[in-house]
Structure 1
Amino acid sequence: MAISLEEVKLNDDIAYECLSYTWVGPKGGDTTNHRRMVCNNAVKYIQQNLYDILVQLRNSNILGPIWIDALCINQGDISERNSQVAQMGEIYKRAIRVIVWLGKEDGYTKTALESLERSTLTLEDYERDKSSSLREHRRCPYTYDEDCAILYFMVQRIWYSRLWVIQEIVLARDIIFFCGSHNTTIDTIWRGSLFIQYSDPDIQDDHNNLTEANFSFSFLAVCIFRHNRLRSPILNTIGYTVHLFRHAQSTDARDKVFGLLAISDCYNYHLQTTMKADYNISTQQVYTSAAKFASCDSRNLAALAAVGDQSLNQIISLSSWVPDLSVSQSLPPLEYLDTRFAAATQESYRLNWQDNALILDGLLWDRISLSSESDSEIANRKGVSRLLQVFNECGLRYAHSDDLLAKAI
């Protein structure tokens, strides 16, 4: 979880003050992980995770004012929830410091952090020359025990999988990571994220946490986004960010979009509208709006390719052109998707919507009468035979040269 130390009060109605707190023990007879605390003279029930970080902050002499969304937003009040989510971007941008709680320390924590802190690799070096990271990794060798400690430290933290942490990291001016009594910088953590790419496959197999490892490695993308978002306008559009971070997890499926509003440009000129957090509308409506923004923001038809395998959809009644963002699929970001949807013509197309139907105006250039197998199917003998059949039936007028056809055969 992440919390922010507030510099100034944003509005009179924002309840960020957690100036004093004391614990009065667990709820009587309750076997859950809830703890009771007194905050501003009111009793609050909190999760064990929040209890742990507050204890650590008190032991570290880090006191309020502190803004904690679990305490400062009434999740059961839709009106308040809409209002507070709209302000969270400003809260994290204007916070003196954002504190990230990775959980309690264990036997691996100290070794992992000390090992990662030996590295001098910077994010600028990594982006300028990706191979520099591998050279730095080899220059700063780790023992087998250190490898295991780093990998275990990174993959055992569910914090990396959560969508809401993205805006907290991207917007924060200053960030400190706590893991038990240990604290470190964001550079140490993203180096640990990058380490997963170079770690020994045998060690990864021993831990058998591929999903968690992918979440940990994806934190590097968050840091790169933080570093580059002001350089490239497309990085700021909500249509781009919802696809870039669709792998992240959220309890409320609508937060796949709402949780990224604070780091996105949410106004679309073509649609003449602004994306806003509204928990009164359905997930289907939120995802449909996000798909419209993505189609317009990408300025091509790449967003249609982001729909992916619809048989995996978990949200029912989505139109065929609307991706189910609640499903994490292995799809490249929008700017890397193949956008060559112009069949031998440079004529532009127009996108319009009528209710939930996507209307694409274009030119009928030709009709497909024959096709080969897919790339994966061509790899076997039957697929190659089918490909040769297509070549023979089409004739040389569709081949670039005699030599090309000969090579294909």
Structure 2
Amino acid sequence: MGAIFSGCSQCTVWLGEEDATTEQAMRLIKSMAAHDGHFETWPYSSPEYQPYLKAHEIIMDSSEIPRQSKDEIFNSLRPLFHKSWWSRTWTVQELILPKHTVLKCGRHEIDWKTVSQAYESLDKHLYRCCKDAYRKSFDSDARWALYGFHNVVSALVSSRLSCHNRGLRVELIELLAEYHRREASNPRDKVYGFLGLCHQDIQERFGADYYIDLADYYAWPTINDIKRSGNLRSLRLALRPTKHDIKLWGPSGFIKEADSKLPSWIPDWSNPSGRRGSQTEGLRLYNLFSAANSSTALFLVQSQILSLWGIRIGTISDVGFCPEGFCDSFDALRMWSRMWNNCENASRFDGSDEDGPVEKGPDKIPVAIFRTIMLDTIPPFN
């Protein structure tokens, strides 16, 4: 499939039948693509507010547009980007590999380049200079429609840029980390569906085998990444919530991840519901820390058991799980309080002598604890 899509000059992607909001959504995307200014200066071009703008030609401030109309306009993005095409594993390569891609929904169509330009315009402002303006100007549904558009398109823009402008093929483990929430009827397709985007040698060595044991199949990307990178970054993708985890927010509300039958070091790609969004940033952040690059990982896999050789320099006292989106505030506070107390107690002692443990003092909590709490999203300290 990868070769077919790579060789075609244009691919028309069928998103499904249109609804009452499709035309409005595509008008909005084209308007966003054509304008690169701050949110307050966006020149809206939907039928709902064109008469209003014509009556107030001097006023182009978006705050002057009636709130209900503006919310309805941006809410139109939600049905278009909630179509099942955006959640399927096999559709990723349809959009990334062809030289030119057009999205078609019913009678309406839009060039992917336009969608990409709209995303780039939004990305410059949504989480930066215009963050407060977005929050104050929309109701919660309209805000989530914008965030949803941004999140759906973001990974595809990045992957397509790597493939075409930089001539790169993405590592399989990075594709799985990015698109693991996409669905497939056969659990093996959760991996096989991305091979067309990978290096040729991976496609040759890791073919489609629908009869191999699922654990062995899901283990291969991790083993391959350890061999290629020489580090253990891919093991973070196998992390599962502990028995004390808080509930996660999914498309249908609060959900809880099902117990996996796989060995603890193998990511369960068949279960997307309880996993957080893109995890590629965690893979990149791994290399920030000197301890991650000082030596090549030594490992052995035998009978689905991963054996590692190294020097133990510490013990993890507790692990917290941070969900995306909404969470139950009381459960979250309870979890972080328990984790902090455990970490603080563990950090008070610096070995032991004949009289028992030697206390350090509460002011010497290791930086590693803060790295853990921040999920390694802060740079290493000197």
- The bucket for the TM-score relative to the shorter chain is 0.5 to 0.7
Of structures 1 and 2, the one with the larger relative CO (CA 8 A, separation 6+) is 2
Which of 283, 288, 292 matches 1:335?
283
Does 2:99 correspond to 1:173?
Answer: yes
| Alignment match, 1:245 | 179
Q: Unaligned regions of 5+ residues in structure 2, if any?
A: 45-64, 243-255, 322-332, 350-358, 367-382
Larger Rg: 1
1:134-161 per-residue CA deviation (whole Å, 9 max, x = no partner) reads x454432545056335423434422211
User: How far does the alpha carbon of each residue in 1:144-190 deviate from its partner, in whole angstroms, 9 at most, with x for none?
Assistant: 05633542343442221111111111111121111111111113334
- After superposition, residues 62-211 of structure 1 pair within 5 angstroms as 88-120=1-33, 135-142=37-44, 144=70, 147-190=73-116, 205-206=140-141
**Residues 297, 121 of structure 1: CA spacing in aligned structure 2 closer, same or farther, 3 A cutoff?**
farther
1:217 and 2:124 aligned? no
2:360 is matched with: 394
Note if 1:292 corresponds to 2:223.
Answer: yes
**Corresponding residue to 1:283 among 214, 235, 239:** 214
Q: Percent identity?
A: 22
Letter in 1 for 2:234: A
User: Aligned in 2, Cα 1:141/1:231: closer, same or farther, shift over 3 Å?
Assistant: closer
d(CA) in 1 for partners of 2:92, 2:231: 26
The equivalent of 2:299 in structure 1 is 351
Paired residue for 1:75? none
The equivalent of 1:32 in structure 2 is none
The list of structure 1 runs, each at least 4 consecutive aligned residues, that deviate by more than 6 angstroms after superposition, is: 207-210, 231-234, 340-345, 372-379, 396-400
What secondary structure sits across from 1:267 in the alignment?
Answer: helix
Aligned with 1:362 (options 302, 310, 313): 310
| Number of residue pairs aligned between Structure 1 and Structure 2 | 296
Residues 178 and 282 (structure 1 numbering): CA distance in 2 closer, same or farther, change over 3 Å? same
Paired position in structure 2 for 1:60: none
Q: Does 1:322 align with 2:270?
A: no
In structure 2, C-alpha distance between the alignment counterparts of 1:153 and 1:171, rounded to whole Å: 25
1:19 alignment partner in structure 2 = none
Inter-partner Cα distance in structure 1 for 2:7 and 2:268: 33
Matches of 1:97 and 1:382, distance apart in 2 = 52
Which residue type is aligned with residue 27 of structure 2? E
Deviations 1:53-77 (A, max 9, x none): xxxxxxxxxxxxxxxxxxxxxxxxx
The 3-state SS of whatever aligns with 2:184 is coil
Deviation at 1:378, TM superposition (A): 9.6
**Secondary structure of the corresponding residue to residue 180 of structure 2:** coil
d(CA) in 2 for partners of 1:171, 1:119:
25
Q: How far does residue 377 in structure 1 lie from its aligned partner after superposition?
A: 7.0
Deviation string for 1:380-406 (max 9, x for gaps)? 599469738834723699689xxxxxx
Query: Normalising to structure 1: TM-score of the pair?
Result: 0.59
Aligned to 1:263: 197
RMSD: 4.3
1:154–1:216 Cα contact (<8 Å) kept = no
Most deviating of 331-340 and 163-172:
331-340
Q: Which runs of 5+ in 1 are unaligned?
A: 1-87, 123-132, 401-409
